[in-house]
Chain A
Amino acid sequence: MNDRELLERAGERMRQDMRPPEEIMQRVHRMRERRERARKVGTIVVAFAVAAAGFGGLLAAFLGGRPERSAGQPTGTVTTANVRNLGLAWTGRFAPAVNTPNGQYPVLPDRPVVGDGMVFVSSFTTIYAFPQDCNVRAGLCAPAWSYPIGAQQWYMSQPAVFGNQVFVTAVGQVSGSNVVGSDAHLYAFPVACGTDGSTCRPNWTADLGVGQTLGVAVSGDGTVFVDGYSQSTSPRTGFLAAFPANCTGVCHPLWKLRLGGAVAAPPLVGEGVVAVSVESTSPSLLVFPTACRGNPCASTPAPVAKIALSERFYPKIIWSGIIIGSTPDSVAAYPSACSGRTCRALWTSLIPDTWGSDFSLYSGGYVMVPSPIESGHQVRLAALPVTCPRGSCQPAVQATVPGGRLTARSGNVIFGAGSGLFAYESGCLAAGKCPSIWTGIKWGSAVDGVAVSGGTVYATSGYSGLLYAFDLSSGPMRAPLSIAPPKWAGPPLGWVIGAGILLIFLVASALALLAKPDRMPLSVRDLWRGPWGATALLALCVFVFFAIHLDLVHLHFGSGLVQTTMTASMMRYAAFVLVGTAIATAVGWRRLLFFVPAVVYSIAPGILGGGDLTCTNRDPIAIGSAWMTRPTCYGGVVYLRQLSVRGGLLGILTDLALALIPVLGLMLASHLKGRVQAPAPKGNSAASTIAVAIWATVLVVGASQLASAGQHPLDPMHRLGTLVPLFVAGAIVGVSQRRWWWVLLAFPVLMDGALADTLRQTL
């Protein structure tokens, strides 16, 4: 007997003590059924948990948080010693907390204006008056009164207060026409118009004709100045009109001057003059005396200065006979009175991009000029001596400061607003960098205006539709406010699509789990191979790209928020890829795995929309992060797109959570079942790639054309520009059969969309 037989005999003897084979086989089948059941239950629980997380992200993004509420009275003066005691006293709503059905934001508030015990905020369509000493008992401070200009109106200027009246100009479309013509009006309201939130009746109004008006200013002697331009003439004709503040009924101007071209900015009043900037083929700055000769005015005043400009000019400050303002790429100073050869610039300073900045005057004759810097979310504040020598003016000091281009001042405390609300000390300017000594609203939250009156700081945000009042008796704050994204009030398109996508994912999971539970070859290890590894590499590429090109992005947009938009876009793509891969794996189309990134990316915009955001439309591809984008619209035109960091991150998480639902299900099931290998690409990959490429291209181009017919902003050529490199890369990957070549698919994507636009515009 050899060794083998010896062993077999011994083994056979022992085997006699075991159960019969048939019984063992039945037990094996029963055990397998039990385990499969347990796995299904576990996977479904995890899938639903992730789905709940996804919904939670959406809810958080949609509903956001409410600002803290407290009550307080404005007291004292804000100084560096007590600025940290500033706390939220109350908030006042000047716009709905929801978006309008067509996706257009209804408001873009100007700087809040304080006067005669009231705070005034004008939105696109309505002026609101809040009492300065608002005593909040239950939630928001109710406005004392308001005045809705009318549904047709869509722009209202910053209010101006004089005596016991507040003035505002408004422009609206002429009934029956489109945007070519518009009516402009001047309104004068009593400051104490009401206390119960009623609609105020104006003391008087003035018809400014068909055209645009840029703003209103009041001189110390009670003359109200309005400038604007007519749209009914070509070239446009500007005007400057003066009205008596004590007018009644329908007011007629004391005088009205026709100017050679459209005006570039609101009128600037001070030191007995009113300055108006005219932009035409030969731009000019005209300065008139505010005082009127005769009563009523015998004639229109003659200019005390008529200065030829080389480019458009926005006058912002007048001090000691000098008018300081912005040109598109510099700051310039002109005399407020001159004749002949003296009528030219006193000095210029090459500080770019200050058109939308607040200038403020400081003791010692310095004008503070905020300007965006190329990287980071801070701005540079330069102190220019008003009495700079002729020629080029250099800042006396300049420093990097937090906040934004909107500034307000209380003593030696400066409040910077724009991307959040911060305070810093003016003395730090000499050090070159000003750290924040108080934060009222977190960075990343859009603040549209800031003002200080006594011990109270007021800030407005169209993002939340709220006026925030911070005072010394309500602080210190536990944490800065974070302005939440607005709620959606339109048809629940996003919800429907989001739920639909979620349902698809759940169905995919269910298919994988219930229909073919044994055909899930994914494992945790496989996540770093093939398409999964490609996705990880893609994400890595995106972030490396951002790291390298950070300054490039800032150079154009001047805002770090753009990165979030692009990151969200890339992550959305990655999410789609994950979903497509999971579905293809679940249903057994393993060959398709290698085309999923290209196919999914191509089909999704065709089916779901362009993924862009306009004033009148939100494309349904915005399943996550793009829901949080914020267009700022002027008359239906997107002026600026912003995205809050919080909203963007929530969007990314939402996308990923949605995408990971089936993936987690597959992973879990696979993990419970044991590890197996994903196959390498073989055979007819290249042919399949080309076939799928043709199919997807036809589909996407067709869908694009349909979408274009429906005025969707989806450009077929733009899509083709994306598709071609995608499929070339896909074909190379298919032919090469090298897994790491998946990374090639990242490059065409990187060149798509916002990033490509950025590069194009920057270069």
Chain B
Amino acid sequence: MPAELPSFDAFFRAESARLARALCLITGDPMEAEEVMQEAFVKVLERWDSYPPIRDPKAYLYRTAMNGFRRGRRRAAHSSRQDPPLQSPDAFARVDERDAVVRSLRTLSPRQRVALVLTVMLGYSSEEAAAIMRIRPTTVRVHASAALQALRRSAGEER
């Protein structure tokens, strides 16, 4: 039994804000980020007191969240091919667009965004990020490096 684990609610409170920020940057959409986060926490909760215990709940949470994001994107791409969405003016989006960082993140590929957030913002090593993203560490480093350059360019413009 995972006796050393805190309660799920405590874990949620400790990790939700950080995960929410990461997902907001990765998805570029707070609503989507909330959905992915919710799904990831449900999965963690289901495994919370199962046997064998989760060795690293935090890593499991981020892996699940990244998988959820990837799955969601795949599903969205599939449905947009079948039924292209209408371009509607979105007030929140317009506000977001004013943020240069967010704007520059939008120009990156989803993988670059994930690599950047995991390594730079969350502080994972490229090996840990590779395990979460299920790609090779060198690929993580390439993606993160490219994303960082784009971010710095946009940060310079904002300053």
Binding site for B on A (CB under 8 A): 1, 3-4, 6-19, 21, 24-25, 27-29, 31-32, 35-36, 518-521, 588, 590, 673-674, 676-677, 679
Contacts and interface: CB of A to CB of B under 8 A. Distances in A.
Interface stretch (B20-28, B69-77, B80-88, B134-142): B20-28
A6 B101 contact: yes
Interface of B: 9, 12-13, 16-17, 20-22, 24-25, 30-31, 33-34, 37-38, 41-43, 45-52, 92, 96, 99, 101-102, 105, 116-117, 120-121, 123, 148, 151-152, 155
A25 B9 contact: yes
A148 B45 CA distance: 74
A8 B21 contact: yes
Given A3-B152, A28-B42, A674-B43, A518 B49 contact: yes
A25 B47 CA distance: 16
Contacts of A518: 46-51
A32 B101 contact: no
Given A3-B151, A35-B46, A11 B121 contact: yes
Contact of B155 (A6, A15, A19, A674): A6
A677 B52 contact: yes
B104 to A, nearest CB: 10
A1 B51 CA distance: 44
Contacts of B47: 518, 673-674, 676
B50 A8 contact: no
B143 to A, nearest CB: 15
A31 to B, nearest CB: 5
Which among A3, A10, A13, A521 has the greatest number of chain B C-beta atoms within 10 A? A10
Nearest to A10: B101
Contacts of A14: 21, 24-25, 30, 33, 96, 99, 102
A31 B117 contact: no
Nearest to B98: A13
Interface of A is mostly: helix
Contacts of A19: 34
9 contacts: A7-B21, A7-B101, A10-B102, A11-B25, A15-B21, A18-B20, A24-B34, A518-B46, A677-B52
A424 to B, nearest CB: 63
A521 B52 CA distance: 7
B60 to A, nearest CB: 10
Given A24-B38, A32-B42, A15 B17 contact: yes
Contact of B45 (A7, A12, A32, A519): A32
Contact of A11 (B22, B31, B42, B43): B22
Given A3-B151, A27-B38, A15 B30 contact: yes
A10 B102 CA distance: 7
Contacts of B99: 10, 13-14
Contacts of B148: 3
Nearest to B92: A17
B21 A21 contact: no
Given A7-B25, A11-B121, A35 B42 contact: yes
A3 B153 CA distance: 11
A590 B53 CA distance: 13
Contacts of B155: 1, 3, 6
The 4 closest A-B pairs by CB, nearest first: A11-B21, A14-B24, A17-B30, A10-B101
A154 B145 CA distance: 94
Contacts of A8: 21, 121
Contacts of A7: 21, 25, 101, 116-117, 120-121, 151
Given A11-B21, A15-B17, 11 more contacts: A1-B155, A6-B151, A10-B101, A15-B33, A18-B20, A18-B33, A28-B12, A35-B46, A521-B50, A521-B51, A673-B46
Given A32-B45, A674-B46, A21 B120 contact: no
Contact of A15 (B24, B51, B120, B152): B24
Contacts of A521: 50-52
Nearest to A588: B51
A1 B100 CA distance: 15
Contacts of B105: 10
A541 to B, nearest CB: 30
A667 to B, nearest CB: 15
A10 B26 CA distance: 11
A6 to B, nearest CB: 6
A622 B91 CA distance: 73
A10 B52 contact: no
A12 B31 CA distance: 14
A24 B13 CA distance: 10
Contacts of A29: 45
A679 B17 CA distance: 34
A627 to B, nearest CB: 38
A106 B16 CA distance: 76
A373 B115 CA distance: 73
B50 A676 contact: yes
A27 B117 CA distance: 26
Contacts of B24: 11, 14-15, 18
A28 B33 contact: no
A673 B46 CA distance: 7
Given A25-B9, A590-B51, A676-B52, A12 B101 contact: no
Contacts of A13: 99
B134 to A, nearest CB: 14
A24 B37 contact: yes
A457 to B, nearest CB: 65
A590 to B, nearest CB: 7
Nearest to B102: A10
Nearest to A28: B41
Which among A3, A36, A519 has the greatest number of chain B C-beta atoms within 10 A? A3
A519 B2 CA distance: 12
A519 B50 contact: yes
B13 A21 contact: yes
Contacts of B120: 3-4, 7
Contacts of A18: 20, 24, 30-31, 33-34
A28 B8 CA distance: 11
Given A4-B121, A519-B51, A10 B25 contact: yes
A370 B24 CA distance: 85
Contacts of B20: 11, 15, 18, 21
A25 B16 contact: yes
A32 B46 contact: yes
Which among B31, B49, B120 has the greatest number of chain A C-beta atoms within 10 A? B120
B59 to A, nearest CB: 15
Nearest to A9: B101
Contacts of B9: 25
A11 B47 CA distance: 28
A7 B100 CA distance: 11
B112 to A, nearest CB: 13
